Structure 1
């Protein structure tokens, strides 16, 4: 704790303020390790480093980003579980690591019992995109086009068992189409096939598609959410075009091991929320293609996580999506 803050704490005149300062000190007396279940340089890592920079200023301590990709997030999650339950080791993750991947990949951690959410700091939506050379310029036009080219078109995803895959399957069903699913190992290779016209459409994250939409390298048929995205304000939602079930987004935030005490989680939540709402963090967040999220308590986030997990389980069952070995 900086000297000036320590002196201020020592001169507090009321037990309540003294207790408040003591509790604040309990989470700031050591550096923090922020695990990221993704490679350095990826979109999740970018957001983690934006938050870590501000968090280190709030705490007056170093916040070290430690990338541990692989095994569907299990490598990072297991490192989190094995760390001391003092809140000094946290994991910055997208919620799909906890709510999507465990349904289609065997993982060595239980997403709803081994970890618990602390604070969501940003979110990313999805958008349905196609090559600008594809003749239909509206969603309605594309559906008509796909029906007259039955059996000839496909949709890409950035891996089986992800929201990109789920959205494509639901769209296929609701629109009465027979688009074939072609999974890729990530968004960039899938988008290159869509931009080249080899694959008709893709549901992609706004983070990776927005720049190409703006540059005219992709056209957008609709955003997969209930409300329009401030990052693509001129693109209508799929919901307002008759597809209310196409509502997909991921929040990004901090989780800890379930063994971390509730009072520590509450103090962490307050500090993380303050860091995430700093003006320069919001600015960098938007530049990276993320949107801010309304503050939710750890309990509310836990309930949201449970709902997303159950929804994805139902999608996997309904479309007979197979578990990968």
Structure 2
């Protein structure tokens, strides 16, 4: 029986292996981070269209189209207070083509509020904190106060008489009012609603006297004189509210930090580091484009100036703070 010499067999095997490697290279490159991105990217927004997160996402997505050279397509997956959309990001392929919008509530409140969201942050990688949005505390004109000191004095003089609307139990608005009560030793009655819309309607009708809200959704009612702002949570006074002091300048830094919302992006946990770096650079660059900054300003938001290496630590720190606040407010996970 004739056998092929072993060295020829190994050469033949090597040649076949080399061909296989060459054939696989373009595919490997396409899947790797070398020419990422080479197709559109999906940006999942875990809330309905038209809300603050969606508005910010669409502005950022437009900017990233030019810094990444690929379309960034916004996909709204609302439900369960942001949990459903965040879950879909965590379950996506870690290839950089599914990115999620992350907020204070999805990353630092929901994991302590909903049992199904408990392990979600561990399945995600923070990429960048992109945008911050101030909040404003406003009252119905019938309350008869326009200044911070006057409001606090009235709230202390009439414990339990003033009521404040919040979008739901355990929401950021709820934590803000509970912290206000604790810090300033007031006794504002907290009234939880099913969403910010119904809460705002009752404040506008004067059925509830007070509401903390994000600046973009509050601004129209402030400009029309239907609601009166008396303090804001912001790094500096908003150009739209130059006469309204910040908690920071009044000496309440904790309340100031708690009230500033942020919007960032996250990816599934095992996304390769070069892809994360590419996304981070493109996203930060996008928020600093003059036209993006202009659009953010028109909705009352600002491009974040934070050192992005600090973003994971910020999430961890705020998660601990918000868990303590939820526990203090007696909100149990559901």
TM-score range, shorter chain: 0.7 to 0.9
Instruction: Give the superposition deviation at 1:156.
Output: 1.0
Give the match for residue 286 of structure 1: 297
How many angstroms apart in 2 are the aligned matches of 1:58 and 1:174?
Answer: 43
Q: From the superposition, tell whether residues 217 and 71 of structure 1 become closer, same or farther in structure 2 (CA, over 3 Å).
A: same
Give CA-to-partner distance per residue, 1:160-209, whole Å, 9 cap, x none. Answer: 11221111111112222222110112222212222222112111111211
Instruction: Give the superposition deviation at 1:52.
Output: 1.4
Give yes or no for the alignment of 1:57 onto 2:66. yes
Mark the runs of 5 or more structure 1 residues left unpaired by the alignment: 1-22
Give CA-to-partner distance per residue, 1:274-310, whole Å, 9 cap, x none. Answer: 111111111111112212210432x311011111101
How many angstroms apart in 1 are the aligned matches of 2:196 and 2:96?
Answer: 33
Q: From the superposition, tell whether residues 170 and 108 of structure 1 become closer, same or farther in structure 2 (CA, over 3 Å).
A: closer
- With the length of structure 2 as denominator, give the TM-score of the two structures: 0.84
Q: From the superposition, tell whether residues 241 and 108 of structure 1 become closer, same or farther in structure 2 (CA, over 3 Å).
A: closer
Give the match for residue 262 of structure 2: 251
Instruction: Give the superposition deviation at 1:99.
Output: 0.5
Match of 2:116, SS state, is coil
- Structure number with larger C-alpha Rg: 2
How many angstroms apart in 2 are the aligned matches of 1:109 and 1:66?
Answer: 23
How many angstroms apart in 2 are the aligned matches of 1:47 and 1:245?
Answer: 25
CA contact (8 A) 1:34 1:65 kept: yes
Equivalent residue in structure 1 for 2:317, among 287, 299, 307? 307
Alignment map for 1:16-95 (pairs within 5 Å): 26-95=35-104
Q: From the superposition, tell whether residues 225 and 279 of structure 1 become closer, same or farther in structure 2 (CA, over 3 Å).
A: closer
How many angstroms apart in 1 are the aligned matches of 2:185 and 2:117?
Answer: 38
Measured on the aligned residues, the alpha-carbon RMSD in Å equals: 2.0
Instruction: Give the superposition deviation at 1:38.
Output: 0.6
Q: From the superposition, tell whether residues 36 and 243 of structure 1 become closer, same or farther in structure 2 (CA, over 3 Å).
A: same
Give yes or no for the alignment of 1:321 onto 2:334. no
- With the length of structure 1 as denominator, give the TM-score of the two structures: 0.86
Q: From the superposition, tell whether residues 244 and 277 of structure 1 become closer, same or farther in structure 2 (CA, over 3 Å).
A: closer
Match of 1:245, SS state, is helix
Mark the runs of 5 or more structure 2 residues left unpaired by the alignment: 1-31
Aligned residue pairs, count: 301
Instruction: Give the superposition deviation at 1:71.
Output: 2.1
CA contact (8 A) 1:27 1:268 kept: no
Equivalent residue in structure 2 for 1:265, among 260, 266, 276? 276
Give CA-to-partner distance per residue, 1:131-182, whole Å, 9 cap, x none. Answer: 1232122122122222333332211111111221111111112222222110
Range with bigger deviation, 74-83 or 299-308 = 74-83
